[in-house]
Structure 1
Amino acid sequence: MTTVPILDSPSSSGSDTLPTNENNPNGSSTKPSTFRSALNHLKTDITLSHADIPIIACCFVSGLCDSSAYNAWGCFVSMQTGNTIFLALGASGQPITRPYGWVKSLVSISLFLFGCFAFANTRYIKPKARGTLAVSFFLQSACIIVAAALVQSNVVPSPKGVVVINGSDIDFLELLPLAFLAFQSGGQIVTSRLLGFNEVPTTVLTSVYCDLASDPKLLARDNVKRNRRFAAVVCILVGGIAGGWISRSAAGLQTNLWIAAGIKMAISLGWSVWKPKGEQL
């Protein structure tokens, strides 16, 4: 009796080693692209653990920029309460040494408000996402860079100081860096609000002083909000001191602005790689 050999069928075990595209008929890799991975990375919300540190760093930037702007142009770019008083004094033509000081204050207030409005719209595009925060601080840094470049290149004349002899000494080109600096200041206070760090407004200290003095747990061992407020006061003070000394040195006003821009850029990069929500630093 002759034995007939049985041929292997296509479904035999040997076919298991052959490549298959059952899950992807087009034969393309199922691994996400680099672009999509980066996009997903930037769309991820950050953890709020230690996220107060960049916000407190913004207080140093405010001190640096405000001391520089006031010393050079007699105007604030972050603390708008002082600008509001300067604007009010302008209604009576005071102070007589700064006849057009109210114009600078008005520009600063207006651009600060516009900055708050513009950056507040990030609430509609994942305000706590890495990418949103990184882009926000990149734009803030870019505004300071423009202001620094205007001063560095002498497009804006070297400041003559707070006191001027008469109105003809005022150069309205000074409004350009003031506008950029005030606009970016609106971005940092909006971010502090969106992240929930209302105790660190970054641009003003009156409410912070009040909250510190009236805190029933002021001397408690564990009081995170008190610690943040105290750090904000120290950073604005140190930033103001540094800004004053650098301005009077050979480095000049522009150096303060370059430092401020560098800090904002570093914060932007930090947000882009911040730990995701649910993870602790």
Structure 2
Amino acid sequence: MYESRRNSEWSPSDLTAVPTPTISRTPTLALDINNPADLEAQLLRLKERRGSDNSTTSTATHISTPDLEQNQTSETTTTPAKPNTLSTYLTHPITPSSTYTLTQFLLLSLATGIIDATTFSLYSVFVTKQTGNTIFLALAALQHTSVSQTEPNVAISISLFFCSAILFGHLGHRMGSSTCLWLSVSNLISTALIFAATALRYFGPAQRTGPYALGVIALLSIGMGAQVTSAFSAKIPDVNTTMITGAIVQLATDETVFAKDNVARTRRVLFFGAMLAGAFVGAGCASCMDAALGLLVAGIVKSAVTIMFLF
């Protein structure tokens, strides 16, 4: 039976019992293999359709490639250059509430205490605290016995401090009064003037009045005017490097003075402590050693702060 089936003539109808898969990309191009007459035409249409799809894909790829290259080129040419890190840092405002900034201005307060204690012991004048100088000026003008007759010293200190505040205040407005660059420049100038006054006091005659005394007072007044002006412009909370009265009053009237996390209280106490410590250093140098040593120590402290402003 098998042999007879194998030798029998084959006909297309025998394929009806075998399931035939659909060989098409889309439902509209399904091949009907039961119809040999139409098979060749359907294969031809399928081949033309496939060639048309390949051509369209190639054209799209060819068109989109230049656009992609153009976009990449555009992005490359419009990417901004990286800014200079040092330049950005120097022109950026300082952070008034940071611990690092607070340390810098506490050191400047220490230098203020040293200088004012030294100048008062030498010349009966302050070069920073102009409130005291104003009182001294009135007492000296009336020849009161409680003060020495040093009107020229007081007048030079007040006038040159005021002129220095005008100069450095307006320059700070133009350059950015709270930027690291301006604070570094102004503090560098102030420090140079302190060292110049130290040299003049050390190499000149030790006189309470006269040209050399006025020269030392003038240099110190200009330098401290620059420092105090910069400190006020930077707006460091509770630490202005010179006026301790306001900090004491604010500390005394603080309702939360004994709170654990009272940052303002801590700043005011540190400010008072720095000023008091500087006064002890200046007074000690004037009493036990050469008063010029106190000015030298203050200049060194201000030099350290100048370097700190750059980092």
Q: Is this contact kept in 2: 1:56–1:228, CA < 8 A? A: no
C-alpha distance in structure 2 between counterparts of 1:72 and 1:80, whole Å: 17
Q: Give yes or no for the alignment of 1:81 onto 2:131.
A: yes
Q: Tell me how far 1:53 sits from its aligned partner.
A: 1.4
Ranked by relative contact order (alpha carbons within 8 Å, sequence separation 6 or more), the top structure is: 1
**2:219 aligns with one of 172, 180, 184:** 180
Which residue in the other structure is 1:192 paired with? 231
Q: Which amino acid aligns with 2:192?
A: A
**1:249 aligns with one of 250, 273, 288:** 288
C-alpha distance in structure 1 between counterparts of 2:234 and 2:147, whole Å: 42
Which residue in the other structure is 1:153 paired with? 203
Q: Give yes or no for the alignment of 1:58 onto 2:96.
A: no
Which residue in the other structure is 1:239 paired with? 278
Q: Tell me how far 1:40 sits from its aligned partner.
A: 4.1
C-alpha distance in structure 2 between counterparts of 1:212 and 1:41, whole Å: 34
**Per-residue Cα deviation, 1:173-193 (whole angstroms, up to 9, x for no partner):** 201111111222222222222
C-alpha distance in structure 2 between counterparts of 1:59 and 1:93, whole Å: 32
RMSD between aligned alpha carbons? 2.3
- Identity percentage of aligned residues: 26
C-alpha distance in structure 1 between counterparts of 2:142 and 2:285, whole Å: 34
Change (3 A) 1:258 1:117: same
**2:167 aligns with one of 118, 125, 133:** 118
Q: Is this contact kept in 2: 1:199–1:228, CA < 8 A? A: yes
C-alpha distance in structure 2 between counterparts of 1:223 and 1:41, whole Å: 30
Q: For 1:87, what is the secondary structure of its paired residue? A: helix
Q: For 1:146, what is the secondary structure of its paired residue? A: helix
Q: Tell me how far 1:87 sits from its aligned partner.
A: 0.4
Q: Give yes or no for the alignment of 1:104 onto 2:142.
A: no
Q: Tell me how far 1:235 sits from its aligned partner.
A: 1.0
Which residue in the other structure is 1:219 paired with? 258
Q: Give yes or no for the alignment of 1:91 onto 2:141.
A: yes
C-alpha distance in structure 2 between counterparts of 1:193 and 1:124, whole Å: 16
Q: Is this contact kept in 2: 1:87–1:103, CA < 8 A? A: no
C-alpha distance in structure 1 between counterparts of 2:210 and 2:227, whole Å: 28
Q: Tell me how far 1:67 sits from its aligned partner.
A: 0.7
C-alpha distance in structure 2 between counterparts of 1:143 and 1:152, whole Å: 14
Q: Tell me how far 1:198 sits from its aligned partner.
A: 4.5
**Per-residue Cα deviation, 1:51-74 (whole angstroms, up to 9, x for no partner):** 121111111111100111011111
C-alpha distance in structure 2 between counterparts of 1:37 and 1:223, whole Å: 35
Q: Is this contact kept in 2: 1:45–1:129, CA < 8 A? A: yes
Change (3 A) 1:234 1:159: farther
**Per-residue Cα deviation, 1:143-188 (whole angstroms, up to 9, x for no partner):** 101100101212xx2146xxxxxxxxx4242011111112222222
Q: Is this contact kept in 1: 2:162–2:225, CA < 8 A? A: yes
Which residue in the other structure is 1:6 paired with? none
Q: Tell me how far 1:96 sits from its aligned partner.
A: 7.6
Q: Is this contact kept in 1: 2:286–2:294, CA < 8 A? A: yes
How many pairs were matched up? 231
C-alpha distance in structure 1 between counterparts of 2:306 and 2:120, whole Å: 26
Which residue in the other structure is 1:11 paired with? none
Greater percentage in helix: 2
Q: Is this contact kept in 2: 1:131–1:272, CA < 8 A? A: yes
C-alpha distance in structure 1 between counterparts of 2:266 and 2:161, whole Å: 27
Name stretches of at least 5 consecutive residues in structure 1 with no aligned partner.
1-22, 25-29, 161-169, 274-281
TM-score by length of 1: 0.75
TM-score by length of 2: 0.68
Which residue in the other structure is 2:305 paired with? 267
C-alpha distance in structure 1 between counterparts of 2:102 and 2:284, whole Å: 27
C-alpha distance in structure 1 between counterparts of 2:146 and 2:276, whole Å: 29
Of the two, which has the highest radius of gyration? Answer: 2
Q: Is this contact kept in 2: 1:60–1:238, CA < 8 A? A: yes
Q: Give yes or no for the alignment of 1:44 onto 2:92.
A: yes
